[in-house]
C-alpha cells in the first residue's frame, strides 16, 4: 500500500532498533487531544487499474475540440523527441541541482537554455526560468524598482494592450510592495499604445518602468523603437513582454530603439510545451549583464572543477531566499526545470530556421483564417495595421452565445473580449497556428456562417 516496501518483519525489527513497541509510539510527542480521527473526506484507495479507468473516462468527457484560441497559450507542433527525452526519469525525478557534481545534466542543459534565450531576445544574460509569463512580468516590475536607481516613484506604466491576466497578476504580486501601476489606454483605431497618453502619465512624476508587449495582446505591433526611446528619455526602464516564437522572425528586444530593452520576459509555453489546460508552463527572463544581481530566480554558471575541468553550477545564490532570507530578491526557490528541459530540446530541434518557419506558418494560417471569417456577413476586423498569428474580429451580436454554439460543434472559436475590453465588444481574439489545416479553417468558417446566418422567418408563437 502507498508504495511502501516494508514487510511486517522489517517494521518489527526496525521498531526494535528504535526501541519502541509500535508505530503509534513514534507519535507520542503529539498532544493526544490533537490526534486526527479518520479522514472521512478521503475516499478509499483505488488500484492503478481502477484509477486509470477513471482518468480515461474523465479525459474522454472533455474531448479534443478544434482550437482557435490563443490569448497567451498557443498550440504548436511538438516534436516527439522533446517529451520522449524530457520524461526520462533522470530529468523528470531529479531535484533542484544543489549538488552540482551529481546534477551536471540538468545544469548544463540550463546553461544551454540561458544561452538560447539570451540570443533569442538579444540580451546578455538569462535566468533559468520563472513560473509563467504573467508572474515573470510581475517579477520584472519588482526587479525594475531595484535596478532603476534614477527612479524613486515605484510607478510602472502598464498599457491596456498588455495581456489582461498579466496586468492582474502583476498587481497581485508586486502591489503589496508599494508599486503603483498606471494604466495607459490604447488607440482605438489601431489597437496599439496611445503614445500621447504616455506623456500624460509621465507628467505625474518620475517613471520606474514601462511595460510593452510585442506583439501585443490583440496580435498587433507596437512602435517598440519609439516606446523604448521614450522610456529611456524619461529615465525609465523598458520591460519587454514577448512571444518567443515570434522572435524567430521579429527584431529582438535587445535591438529596440537606440539602446534596446532592459528586461525581457515572456511565456515559454509555445516552445515545446503542450497547452496542458494552462500549466505547468514556464516564464523566462533576460536582461543586461549590469542588472544580473537584481534578477530573481536560479542562474547557472560555467566554472572549473578542482582538476581544472569545465563544469556547471548554480551561481549568484547569495541573492536568493535560502541565504538572504528577508532581503532576498524574491521568495522564488524553483524554476520550471522540466518545462525548460522541453523548451531547450525544442529550440535545439527547431534552430533559427525552424523557428522562423514556425512563426511564418502560424502567421500564414491566421491570415487565412482571418480572410475566411471576414468573408462571412456580420464579421469585420477591429483594427487597422499588421498583426502576428492572432487578431481581433468584431461580430454583429454578442460573442458568448456564438462561441457556445461553436463549442457545441467541437470548435473553440476564440476568446471573448467582452469582459476585459467592454468598449470593443462584441469582439473576439482568434488565433491559428501551423497545426491547423485548410479543412480545419473551412470547418470553422462554415460553422460560424451557419450560426450567424439570419434565422429563417419564424412561424412560431410570437
Partner 1 sequence: MSNVPPELEYTDAHEWIRRLPDGIAEVGITDHAQHALGDIVYVELPDLGRTVSAGEACAVVESVKSASDVYAPVSGEVIGRNDALETAPEAINQDPYGAGWMLRVRLAPGGGDAKTLSAAAYLDLLGKESD
Partner 2 sequence: MAMREPTIFECGAPGRGASDQWPTPSPDALADIPPQLRRKRRPALPEASELDVVRHYTRLSQRNFCIDTHFYPLGSCTMKYNPKACNQYAMLPEFLGRHPLAPAASSQGLLRCLHELQEILKSVTGMGAVSLVPMAGAQGEFAGVSMIRAYHRSRGDLGRDEIVVPEAAHGTNPATATMCGFRVREIPVNADGDVDLAALRAAVGPRTAGIMLTNPSTLGVFERHIVEIEQIVHGAGGLLYYDGANLNAILGKVRPGDMGFDVIHMNLHKTFSTPHGGGGPGAGAVGVSDRLAPFLPIPIVGEDRGSFRWLDETDLPQSIGRLSTFMGNVGVLLRAYVYVRMLGRDGMRAVADHATLNANYLCARLAALGYDPAYPSRRASHEFLITLKRQSRMYDVSAMDVAKRLLDLGFHAPTTYFPLMVPECLLIEPTETESRATLDAFAAAMARILAEMQNDRDQLKSAPHAMPVRRLDDVRAAKQLDLTWPGAPAGPVSASP
Secondary structure string (H, E, C) spanning 378-436? CEEECCCCCECCCEEEEECCCHHHHHHHHHHCCEECCEECCCCCCCCCCEEEECCCCCC
326 binds partner 1 (CB under 8 A): no
Residue 393 grid cell = 474580429
Residue 244 grid cell = 518567443
Whether 409 and 443 have beta carbons less than 8 Å apart is answered as no
Cα separation of 65 and 57, whole Å? 16
Q: How many residues bind partner 1 (CB under 8 A)?
A: 8
Residue 96 grid cell = 533542484
Candidate segments 125-133, 208-216, 317-325, 449-457, binder of partner 1 by CB under 8 A? 317-325
From the list 389, 402, 384, the residue with the least C-alpha distance to 430 is: 389
Instruction: Figure out which of the listed residues 239, 245, 261, 417 binds partner 2, where binding follows CB under 8 A.
Output: 261
**79: CB partners within 8 A, 6+ apart:** 272, 346, 349
Binding mask 128-167 for partner 1 (x = CB under 8 A): ---------------------x------------------
Residue length of the chain? 462
Q: Taking the complex as a whole, how short is the minimal distance between the CB of residue 323 and partner 1, in angstroms? A: 6
Q: Taking the complex as a whole, how short is the minimal distance between the CB of residue 110 and partner 1, in angstroms? A: 18
Question: Nearer Cβ to partner 1, position 92 or 98?
Answer: 98
Q: Taking the complex as a whole, how short is the minimal distance between the CB of residue 328 and partner 1, in angstroms? A: 9
Which of partner 1, partner 2, none does residue 149 bind to, with CB < 5 to 8 Å depending on kind? partner 1
Question: Nearer Cβ to partner 2, position 185 or 279?
Answer: 279
Q: Which residues of 441-450 are buried (b: 16+ CB within 10 A; e: fewer)?
A: bebbbebbbe
Q: Which residues of 193-212 are buried (b: 16+ CB within 10 A; e: fewer)?
A: bbeebbeebbeeeebbbbbb
Quick one: 2 exposed, middle or buried, by C-beta within 10 A (0-12, 13-18, 19+)?
Answer: exposed
Q: Taking the complex as a whole, how short is the minimal distance between the CB of residue 460 and partner 2, in angstroms? A: 26
Candidate segments 97-105, 151-159, 194-202, 447-455, binder of partner 2 by CB under 8 A? 97-105
Instruction: Figure out which of the listed residues 11, 84, 102, 318 binds partner 1, where binding follows CB under 8 A.
Output: 318
From the list 122, 186, 172, 179, the residue with the least C-alpha distance to 156 is: 179
Three-class secondary structure of residue 116 per DSSP: helix
317 binds partner 1 (CB under 8 A): yes
Query: CA end-to-end span of the chain, whole Å?
Result: 65
Residue 205 grid cell = 512624476
323 binds partner 1 (CB under 8 A): yes
Which of partner 1, partner 2, none does residue 446 bind to, with CB < 5 to 8 Å depending on kind? none
Binding mask 283-302 for partner 1 (x = CB under 8 A): ----------x---------
Q: How many residues bind partner 2 (CB under 8 A)?
A: 210
Question: Nearer Cβ to partner 1, position 88 or 293?
Answer: 293
Cα→Cα distances 410→68, 94, 366, 413, Å: 11, 39, 19, 9
Question: Nearer Cβ to partner 1, position 303 or 437?
Answer: 303
Candidate segments 191-199, 363-371, 436-444, 449-457, binder of partner 2 by CB under 8 A? 363-371
Instruction: Figure out which of the listed residues 79, 185, 378, 381 binds partner 2, where binding follows CB under 8 A.
Output: 79
From the list 276, 251, 273, the residue with the least C-alpha distance to 388 is: 251
HSE toward the beta carbon, residue 122, CA cutoff 13 A: 17
Contact set for partner 2, span 416-445 (CB under 8 A): 434
Question: Nearer Cβ to partner 1, position 320 or 434?
Answer: 320
Q: Which residues pair with 287 in a beta bridge?
A: 125, 263
Which of partner 1, partner 2, none does residue 262 bind to, with CB < 5 to 8 Å depending on kind? partner 2
Contact set for partner 2, span 219-258 (CB under 8 A): 221, 232, 235, 247-252, 254-255, 258
Q: Taking the complex as a whole, how short is the minimal distance between the CB of residue 96 and partner 2, in angstroms? A: 4
Candidate segments 50-58, 197-205, 313-321, 332-340, binder of partner 1 by CB under 8 A? 313-321
Cα separation of 449 and 375, whole Å? 9
Whether 130 and 283 have beta carbons less than 8 Å apart is answered as yes
From the list 315, 314, 293, 312, the residue with the least C-alpha distance to 304 is: 312
Contact set for partner 2, span 207-226 (CB under 8 A): 221
Question: Nearer Cβ to partner 2, position 106 or 201?
Answer: 106
Contact set for partner 2, span 143-172 (CB under 8 A): 163, 165-166, 168-169, 171-172
Candidate segments 99-107, 171-179, 198-206, 319-327, binder of partner 1 by CB under 8 A? 319-327
Residue 316 grid cell = 549568484
Whether 268 and 133 have beta carbons less than 8 Å apart is answered as yes
Instruction: Figure out which of the listed residues 21, 55, 438, 442 binds partner 2, where binding follows CB under 8 A.
Output: 55
Give the pairing type, strands 237-242 and 209-214: parallel
Identify the helix (H) or strand (E) that includes residue 285. strand 283-287
Which of partner 2, partner 1, none does residue 439 bind to, with CB < 5 to 8 Å depending on kind? none
Q: Using CB under 8 A as the criterion, which residues of the chain lie in contact with partner 1 when the complex forms?
A: 149, 293, 317-319, 323-324, 327
Amino acid at each position: 500500500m502507498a508504495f511502501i516496501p516494508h514487510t511486517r518483519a522489517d517494521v518489527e525489527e526496525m521498531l526494535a532498533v528504535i526501541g519502541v513497541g509500535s508505530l503509534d509510539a513514534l507519535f507520542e510527542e503529539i498532544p493526544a487531544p490533537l490526534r486526527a480521527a479518520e479522514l472521512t473526506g478521503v475516499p478509499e484507495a483505488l488500484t492503478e487499474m481502477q484509477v486509470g479507468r477513471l482518468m480515461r473516462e474523465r479525459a474522454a468527457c472533455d474531448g479534443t475540440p478544434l482550437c482557435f484560441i490563443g490569448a497567451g497559450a498557443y498550440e504548436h507542433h511538438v516534436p516527439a523527441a522533446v517529451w520522449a527525452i524530457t520524461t526520462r526519469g533522470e530529468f523528470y525525478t531529479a531535484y533542484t541541482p544543489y549538488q552540482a557534481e551529481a546534477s551536471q545534466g540538468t545544469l548544463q542543459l540550463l546553461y544551454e537554455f540561458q544561452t538560447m534565450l539570451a540570443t533569442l531576445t538579444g540580451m546578455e544574460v538569462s535566468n533559468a526560468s520563472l513560473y509563467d509569463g504573467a508572474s515573470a512580468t510581475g517579477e520584472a516590475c519588482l526587479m525594475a524598482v531595484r535596478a532603476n536607481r534614477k527612479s524613486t516613484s515605484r510607478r510602472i506604466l502598464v498599457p491596456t494592450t498588455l495581456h489582461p491576466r498579466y496586468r492582474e497578476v502583476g498587481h497581485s504580486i508586486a502591489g503589496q510592495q508599494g508599486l503603483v501601476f498606471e494604466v495607459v489606454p490604447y488607440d482605438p483605431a489601431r489597437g496599439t499604445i496611445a503614445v500621447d497618453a504616455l506623456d500624460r502619465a509621465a507628467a505625474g512624476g518620475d517613471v520606474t518602468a514601462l511595460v510593452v508587449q510585442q506583439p501585443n495582446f490583440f496580435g498587433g505591433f507596437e512602435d517598440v523603437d519609439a516606446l523604448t526611446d521614450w522610456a529611456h528619455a524619461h529615465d525609465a526602464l523598458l520591460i519587454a513582454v514577448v512571444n518567443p516564437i515570434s522572435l524567430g522572425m521579429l527584431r529582438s528586444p535587445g535591438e529596440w530603439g537606440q539602446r534596446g530593452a532592459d528586461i525581457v520576459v515572456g511565456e515559454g509555453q509555445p516552445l515545446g510545451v503542450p497547452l496542458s489546460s494552462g500549466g505547468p508552463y514556464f516564464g523566462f527572463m533576460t536582461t543586461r549583464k549590469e542588472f544580473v544581481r537584481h534578477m530573481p530566480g536560479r542562474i547557472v554558471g560555467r566554472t572549473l572543477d578542482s582538476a581544472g575541468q569545465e563544469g556547471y553550477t548554480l551561481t549568484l545564490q547569495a541573492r536568493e531566499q535560502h541565504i538572504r532570507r528577508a532581503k532576498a530578491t524574491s521568495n522564488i526557490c524553483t524554476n520550471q526545470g522540466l518545462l525548460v528541459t522541453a523548451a531547450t530540446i525544442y529550440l535545439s530541434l527547431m534552430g533559427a530556421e525552424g523557428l522562423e518557419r514556425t512563426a511564418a506558418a502560424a502567421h500564414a494560417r491566421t491570415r487565412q483564417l482571418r480572410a475566411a471569417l471576414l468573408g462571412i456577413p456580420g464579421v469585420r476586423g477591429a483594427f487597422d495595421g499588421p498583426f502576428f498569428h492572432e487578431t481581433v474580429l468584431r461580430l454583429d451580436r454578442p460573442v458568448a452565445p456564438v462561441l457556445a454554439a461553436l463549442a457545441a460543434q467541437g470548435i473553440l472559436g476564440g476568446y471573448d473580449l467582452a469582459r476585459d475590453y467592454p468598449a470593443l465588444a462584441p469582439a473576439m481574439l482568434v488565433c491559428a497556428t501551423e497545426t491547423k489545416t485548410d479543412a480545419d479553417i473551412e470547418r470553422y468558417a462554415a460553422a460560424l456562417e451557419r450560426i450567424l446566418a439570419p434565422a429563417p422567418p419564424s412561424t412560431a408563437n410570437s
